Amino acid sequence: MLDQDITLADQIFTRMRREIVAGQLPPGSKMSEPELARRYGISRGPLREALRRLESSSLVVRRPNVGARVVELSSEHLLDLYYLREALEGLAARLAAERMGDAEIAELQDLIARHERQVAQDHGLAYYQSEGDLDFHYCIVRGSHNARLQDLLANDLYHLVRMYRCQFAMSGPRAPTALREHAQIVDAIAARDGELAEILMRRHIRASRQQVEKRLNGELATPPPLTH
Amino acid sequence: MLDQDITLADQIFTRMRREIVAGQLPPGSKMSEPELARRYGISRGPLREALRRLESSSLVVRRPNVGARVVELSSEHLLDLYYLREALEGLAARLAAERMGDAEIAELQDLIARHERQVAQDHGLAYYQSEGDLDFHYCIVRGSHNARLQDLLANDLYHLVRMYRCQFAMSGPRAPTALREHAQIVDAIAARDGELAEILMRRHIRASRQQVEKRLNGELATPPPLTH
DNA sequence: GCCGCCAGGATTGTCGACAATCTCAGGCGA
DNA sequence: TCGCCTGAGATTGTCGACAATCCTGGCGGC
């Protein structure tokens, strides 16, 4: 039909990933192969393949002869993730400043301008928690022209980040600040200053991490990680 | 029997990964499922699972309805890999300096001492191209106490690095230099100087990358990438 | 002579069934 | 009453077979 060239296992993989990230399949819940196969109307073959791919995306954990469960979220792993992003996206920003074409940079500037209009309109409430933030980071990563970096961040880490955001109900008051930092990074890239772009991006992500750490320490009156 | 708790697909996965890295399954070669299943004496089910895991390790590429091939090596992807390692292992070194226990550091120092004795004995010929180099880096990564970073480097990237080393016949005259740089990094970690450890590690990997770039540009009379 | 079309063969994707393994409840003994 | 062992039940791992899809070679038309 439209894009039926995609294999059945791929469809189920994408669908289950979306449901896990959104929380419809809650963390820690057991994923019975026969049950899921009935639920999605497929056989266990493609389903197992989808589970294997979800495992390599770190969205489910499998134990041999026991089964698969949706990954359990922990504040420790969330911080691990931020450290990784700081290093990887810092690299991406540096490479983007060195490698992006002029057209790509213009597109990026346009994206930032759209975000600014949207934030001004919404009073900056729904920027950070929406897809807008990840959109920006995704553009930078794509601009790095490093296939492996792109694959790693876009196919694995960002889905995990979105999962944490949904589950931990993270939004925070960083929306206007984040947007300003984004604009600074774009300026550095437009100026072809890779070193500065890397520094700003690392600082940007470190600030997010530090805010999460504060929240986890209970220093901020924001939604707790989860209700157990 | 010994460690039969491992599932059949896991055994095949590990075995095929070893053969791909060593070059027994040459890059670009087609991996027919019936043929491989006969060859390893298993069915296509576990074999497909092993192929899927090899794909997520970037050792094979699969196209729907077409099949799997051993990944093609390219100098571009090799450089991508070095950029990633520079960022990730720099992070690992910083975290290691902050988080390693005293016992772990003593172990690391012991490893370096053993390497020094070995290099003195072998006149430094076979250090860089052996597993010794990756052993060192693996210890640092383990010391980062960041599960995701550890998983990423040890389970995926290092196998790719070893594959490139085997296929490109990379050794180079960097053996004594590399060992000296390793010792400096260990000193920084022992001094709990995370910032310095990161700088030194990044410089260490960048130097390797630059040497590879020179070689790819034909400025060094060393084995060419591959004979086509 | 070159390009497009078509059938043959092989390969991959998918399915249902059987065997091996784990989990959990219940009973026995100390 | 607590702990260990055992057996039923369910689940995962593995296998072989069928259907859908793709590559290869040859043929006909321009």
> Which nucleotide is closest, CA of A30 to its C1'?
D11
Q: Which of A209, A144, A167, B89 lies closest to A159, judged by CA?
A: A167
Are the C-beta atoms of residues A84 and B151 closer than 8 Å to each other?
Answer: no
Q: Do A84 and B148 touch (CB under 8 A)?
A: yes
Would you say residue B3 has pLDDT above 80?
no
pLDDT computed for residue A117 by the predictor: 85
Torsion angle (degrees, nearest 10) of CA A129, A132, A134, A138: 180
pLDDT in tens, B53-110: 999 999 999 999 899 999 999 999 999 999 999 999 999 999 999 999 999 999 999 9
pLDDT in tens, B125-168: 555 555 666 689 999 999 999 999 999 999 999 999 999 988 88
Distance CA B50 to C1' D24 in A = 29
Of A5, A52, A81, the CB nearest to B49: A52
- Over its C-alpha atoms, chain B yields an Rg (Å, rounded) of 19
Tens-digit pLDDT string for chain A (228 aa): 334 457 889 999 999 999 999 999 999 999 999 999 999 999 999 999 999 999 999 999 999 999 999 999 999 999 999 999 999 999 999 999 999 999 999 999 999 998 888 877 766 555 555 566 668 999 999 999 999 999 999 999 999 999 998 888 776 557 778 889 999 999 999 999 999 999 999 999 999 999 999 988 876 555 444 433
pLDDT computed for residue B2 by the predictor: 40
| Residue B64 one-letter amino acid | P
Burial of B100 (0-12, 13-18, 19+ CB in 10 A): buried
Q: Do A77 and B6 touch (CB under 8 A)?
A: no
Contacts with B80 from chain A: Cβ below 8 Å: 146-149
Distance CA B147, CA B132 (A): 22
- Over its C-alpha atoms, chain A yields an Rg (Å, rounded) of 19
Distance CA A114, CA A110 (A): 6
**B26: its two tokens:** 């040459």
pTM of the model: 0.88
Q: Which residue of A has its CA nearest to B145?
A: A80
Contacts with B148 from chain A: Cβ below 8 Å: 58, 77, 80-81, 84
Residues in B whose CB is inside 8 Å of some CB of A read 5-7, 10, 45, 48-49, 52-53, 56, 58, 64-65, 77, 80-81, 83-84, 86-88, 90-91, 95, 146-149, 152
Distance CA B53 to C1' C7 in A = 36
3-state DSSP of chain B? CCCCCCCHHHHHHHHHHHHHHHCCCCCCCEECHHHHHHHHCCCHHHHHHHHHHHHHCCCEEEECCCEEEECCCCHHHHHHHHHHHHHHHHHHHHHHHHHCCHHHHHHHHHHHHHHHHHHHHHCCCCCCCCHHHHHHHHHHHHHCCCHHHHHHHHHHHHHHHHHHHHHHCCCCCCHHHHHHHHHHHHHHHHCCCHHHHHHHHHHHHHHHHHHHHHHHCCCCCCCCCCCC
Distance CA A83, CA B150 (A): 12
Distance CA B115, CA B46 (A): 40
